[in-house]
Amino acid sequence: MPSSTFIRAAFFAAGALVGGGVATAISSRNQSTLPPRPTPVTSPIIELDKVGKAKLQEVALVPSIAASSILKYGNPGPISDTLVRQAYITAYDRRLRHPAWTAEHLTQASLKPGKEGGDRSKSNFVEDESLPVPFRARLKDYFRSGYDRGHMVPAADAKFSQEAMDETFLLSNMAPQVGDGFNRHYWAYLEDWCRRLTGSFQDVYIFTVPLYLPRQDSDGKWRVSHEVIGSPPNVSVPTHFAKVVLTSKPVSPSNPVVLDISTGAFVLPNAIIPDEVPLESFVVPVDAVERAAGLTFFSDEIKTHSHHICKSTKCQVIVRRFDDARKQSQKAIAAPK
C-alpha cells in the first residue's frame, strides 16, 4: 500500500474512532421508587495531587452489593482481573482473553538494568496461572494462528530484574498482533519512542489499550468485525491498538514542585505499517480513545492544562530492525505440550 494511501486510511480510522460513539439516555416514570444506584467503579485515571504532581489513582474495588437480594446467589460479572506486576499494572479482560489496558510509569532509573538485570533470552511465554482456567489465554491458542504474541508492556521496559521481565511474558500481557510490519517493526518503534521520552521528561506514564473499532461497509452501515484465534476460538484479535501517554517535568530547576504536563494518544491499526509513515498520522484525541475503550485516563484538570505531547517533543519514530538483532535467538511458537 502506498504511504499516502496508508496515511489517509489512518486518518479515516481516527475519524471513525472519534465519531463512532453513541450515547443513549433512559428515563423512568418512577425514579423515586428505584433503589439507589451503586457508586460507579473508578476507571484507571491520572490526576494531580495537592502539590501538582501527576499520580495514578488506586484501582477501585467493585462496590459490595452482598445485601442485595437480586444477586443473592452471586454476581456474574463482568470482571476485569486487576494484576499488579513489578513493572506494570493490567486489567485482564476474561471475555476477550487479553488485557483491557496496561499501565506503566517509566523513568530513566526504571529503565536501567539492575545488578541482576533481566535477560530476554531467559524468559519464556507462559500461561497466567493466577487466572481462572476457563478464562485464560493458552499457548495453543496462538500456535499456528498467524499472529504474534504481542507484548502490551514490552520486555525492554522491565530490564531491572529477571522476575520483572519474566512477568512481561505472561499471556495475560499479550494480545494477538500482526507480526512482520507491525509487532516486530512499527509497534516496536513506537515502544522505543515511549522509552526515549524519559530522556526529556522526569516521569512518563503509558497506557496501552487494545481496541475494536468499526468500519463502514458498502451498505453505509458501521460494523465491528474481528478474528478470534484458538481451537476452540478463544482469544480475540483487536482491530487497533492505542498508546496513551502523559509526561511531566519541572517547569524550571528553581521550581521543581510545579510540573509541566503533556499528553497525547496514538491509534494504530493491527496491520502492516510501512516504516516511512509519520507517527503524527496516528494522533487522535485522548477523549476519542476513552470513548472507544470505555475508560478514563486523565482528570479534566489535566486535560485542560496539559500541552499536546507533539508540541513538547518530536513525535517521530526511529526505524530500527529490532527483530534482526535477535533473529538468531528468537523463540518460535512451539507446539504446545
Q: How many helices (H) and strands (E) does the chain have?
A: 8, 16
Helix or strand (DSSP H, E) at 54: strand 54-56
Q: What are phi and psi of 103, to 5 degrees?
A: -130, 140
Pairing of strands 307-308, 255-269: parallel
The one-letter amino acid at 302: I
Query: If you search the block for the grid coordinates 468485525, which residue do you land on?
Result: 225
C-alpha cell at 143: 500456535
Cα(234)–Cα(54) distance, integer angstroms = 37
Q: How many other CB atoms are found less than 10 A from the CB of residue 244?
A: 26
Per annotation, catalytic residue among 151, 240, 307, 308? 151
Q: What are phi and psi of 122, to 5 degrees?
A: -95, -5
- Is residue 240 part of the annotated active site? The answer reads no
Cβ-contact 101, 209 below 8 angstroms: yes
Cα(203)–Cα(125) distance, integer angstroms = 29
Cβ-contact 140, 128 below 8 angstroms: no
Pairing of strands 89-93, 80-84: antiparallel
Cβ-contact 13, 6 below 8 angstroms: no
- Of 188, 206, 196, the C-alpha closest to 108 is 196
Cβ-contact 207, 133 below 8 angstroms: no
Cβ-contact 156, 191 below 8 angstroms: yes
Sorted by sequence, the CB contacts under 8 Å of residue 152 that are 6+ apart come out as 90, 98, 99, 102, 173, 174, 175, 208, 210
Query: Which sequence positions are flagged as catalytic?
Result: 151
